[in-house]
Chain A
């Protein structure tokens, strides 16, 4: 018995070790391997950047990938399984302070990227006002457009501030999902820049409403990826193309597998909102919600809170790692 274990290990070692060493050398990683094994290199470079990447990644919580359900329905921890993805056109002017001298063109891209996290926090107060009890800037990337300004993509983690239903069956249940178009992609409408905040508020409300409807039918619902895109129209300065869609997920358990579930499985209710929000529906659905929002009569699954107060520190929110909270006036 012992020999049957030892022999493969020995053979594996004989084969693997030289191959690993040869490959390290061949792919040019020998140097880093050598550094990692040596004392000199490890003490040569001080960690002056303070593990920035690690601190950003720690915002995503510690859920293991295999337990997606627990991550999604954990209302106390941020997770990359429950996010808002916001894409917008970005320019240097948007990140410079008023009156700040622009840097040399060689530094434009770096300035834009380095200030994108702070710029991205501007969206958090409106999320906190509508559907989130906490909001954290997670991943950020910038893509270059060929004939258009660069596009900033920010992924936020959030804690749900809406009723996501009964999760008592979470251990036995399976996840199901639905894709919802909140603003139809086929629409050719352009939105004036000044109308974007109201439109986003309407989109949040719509997502909450859709999730509330699903919760009523399925027993639970979480908005796991709300995606909003606002791209500047190169031909019409001051106007934007807007798209929005969302992924909703719920727990499918025996106690909630009613007729609605059967309908979902055959796909008949997929894109149910898209049916309403086609080209014509863009204004009938979203614009009316904009109006409701502006007049203060929008309905959500949970009443929108009073003007949120974002406080420094905070006892209510316990699980954002060691990150300190900042004080922000949500406006």
Chain B
């Protein structure tokens, strides 16, 4: 090895040392994720550095002392909160570390359920009515975004993914990877922590956009009377043990309207410079809300905005009082290793990325071949030539 190579190797070692110093916490495997507690033993969480397509979390994610008031900002359709923000009653915000212990905070952490059970959508239009003495817990978020390794694909989404990939191929884009045809469709997790022991709880879990995995936590003494989810997307649930009914309603059809919050003045939709397009969106959202509110009143006997908890972008929700001290905090209940309930979908995976991608590539290839008329060769027709001069 010459002096040049020696010095470059030395430089490389320094670079690696700097990198490891900066990301030591990320690469350590996450000791807090192996903390035990609760009804699920929090062990063996995997820090998946190969997930790809995950969201970038801010540095506040690893700051248990972050000022919660600095963890949200008004966005187009409501509050956009940043980890470890936790939505609570009366539109208040907390630092989730004040409520939970063992909270997974690592960048790109993906928890992978061990298995899933299909829970079909309700065929009726009316949820079980709240009973006397039950307390209705009205949780409504726009979306969650923290990735998991629970993936759900509809054939429509697969067609869209194939279309995007084929568009790049046929447009001559270089350096395409074959596995780029398979995109992530993870079901993002939203944690719900129940500390309200005052009455049996009737949980109404609503999300306006995308898919969601509701990860329930309950302190001892909490009673769950019933759970109803309302969503236009795929919904999964990691339920806490107990005797209660679960109903999953598909929103957006003729039966149950799309979930729609009441438009508020602080939304970006109203704060931005107004034009006809924005005004049209405002009118449409107001109309959607009126429709949803009417259905909600009929279904649950109260306005859809009464006691609502949740931001437009939400990671954690608290229902009930904040633990009195650090020792009383609630152990995080992991998705990793759990068996979750999920609404029907064409393909559902609780598998490492490489297995999922390998499986889906084959399906996507078949889809494209069928679209092309049965033969992938049709995508690249042979040149033609003139043979008579």
Min distance, Cβ A252 to any Cβ of chain B, angstroms = 30
Residue B373 is within 8 A (CB to CB) of chain A in the complex = yes
State the total of A-B contacts with C-beta under 8 angstroms.
Answer: 223
The docked-state distance in angstroms from the alpha carbon of A129 to that of B3 is 65
Chain B residues in 8 Å Cβ range of A174: none
Segment 53-84 of B: residues with Cβ below 8 Å from A: 53-54, 56
Cβ contact within 8 Å between A135 and B7: no
CB distance from B16 to the nearest CB of A (A): 7
Complex interface: chain A residues within 8 A of B372 (CB): 114-115, 118
Q: Closest A residue to B23 by CB, please name it.
A: A25
Q: Return the CB mask of A90-104 against B: 1 if under 8 Å, else 0.
A: 000000010000011
Is B306 close to A, CB under 8 A? no
Are B179 and A45 in contact, with the CB atoms below 8 A? yes
The interface stretch among B163-171, B252-260, B325-333 is: B163-171
**Chain B residues numbered 311-341 whose CB sits less than 8 Å from any CB in chain A:** none
Of B137-145, B208-216, B358-366, the segment with at least 4 beta carbons within 8 Å of chain A is B358-366
Identify B170's interface contact among A140, A306, A324, CB under 8 A.
Answer: A140
Contact A10 B7 (CB under 8 A): yes
> Is A64 close to B, CB under 8 A?
no
Given contacts A17-B12, A50-B376, A110-B159, contact A9 B384 (CB under 8 A): no
Q: Are A30 and B4 in contact (CB under 8 A)?
A: no
Name the residue on A nearest B17 (C-beta). Answer: A18
Q: Is B132 on the interface with A (CB-CB < 8 A)? A: no
Residues of A contacting B361 in the complex (Cβ-Cβ under 8 angstroms) = 45-46, 48-49
List residues of chain B with CB within 8 A of the CB of A248. Answer: none
State whether B382 touches A323 (Cβ < 8 A): yes
Contacting residues, chain B, for A125 (C-beta < 8 A): 384
Cβ of A106 under 8 Å from chain B: yes
With both chains docked as a complex, state the minimum distance between the C-beta of A76 and any C-beta of chain B, in angstroms.
Answer: 11
Chain A residues numbered 20-73 whose CB sits less than 8 Å from any CB in chain B: 20-22, 25-26, 28, 30-32, 34-35, 40-41, 44-53, 55-57, 59-60
Name the distance in Å between A259's Cβ and chain B's nearest Cβ: 34
**A45-B371 in contact given A31-B51, A134-B383 (Cβ < 8 Å):** no
When the two chains form their complex, are residues B12 and A31 in contact, meaning their CB atoms are under 8 A apart? no
Q: Complex formed: what's the CA distance from A16 to B11 in Å?
A: 9
Q: Which of B365-389 contact A (CB under 8 A)?
A: 365, 367-368, 371-373, 376, 378-389
What chain B residues lie within 8 Å of A52 (beta carbons)?
Answer: 169, 376, 379-380
Q: How far is the CB of A134 from chain B (nearest CB, A)?
A: 4
Q: Enumerate chain B residues within 8 angstroms of A47, measured Cβ to Cβ.
A: 178
Min CB–CB distance A140 → chain B (angstroms)? 4
Contact between B163 and A113, CB atoms less than 8 A apart: yes
Complex: A103 Cα to B143 Cα, angstroms: 31
Given contacts A35-B50, A41-B354, A45-B178, contact A138 B172 (CB under 8 A): yes
- Known interface pairs A110-B368, A305-B389. Does A9 touch B383 (Cβ–Cβ under 8 Å)? no
Which listed residue, B159, B176, B380, touches A106 by the CB 8 Å rule?
A: B159
User: Does any Cβ of B come within 8 Å of A289's Cβ?
Assistant: no
B369: min CB distance to chain A, Å: 8
Residue of B nearest to A96 (CB): B373
Task: Please give me the residue from chain A that is nearest to B26 by CB atom.
Answer: A25
Tell me whether B244 is interfacial, beta carbon within 8 Å: no
The answer to whether A2 touches B3, judged by C-beta atoms less than 8 angstroms apart, is: yes
Known interface pairs A13-B11, A115-B372; A30-B384 also in contact (CB < 8 Å): no
- Is B52 touching A48 in the complex (CB atoms < 8 A)? no
For residue B49, CB closer than 8 A to chain A, the reply is: yes
B387 and A22 contact, CB distance less than 8 A:
no
Not counting A28-B56, A104-B156, a sample of 19 additional A-B residue pairs whose C-beta atoms are within 8 angstroms of each other reads A9-B7, A10-B10, A14-B15, A18-B19, A20-B15, A21-B15, A40-B354, A45-B178, A52-B169, A52-B380, A55-B380, A56-B169, A59-B383, A78-B383, A109-B163, A115-B378, A117-B378, A118-B373, A136-B382
Show 5 A/B contacts (Cβ-Cβ < 8 Å), sorted by A.
Answer: A28-B52, A44-B357, A53-B168, A53-B172, A128-B385
Which 3 pairs show the lowest CB-CB distances between chains A and B?
A: A17-B15, A13-B11, A136-B383
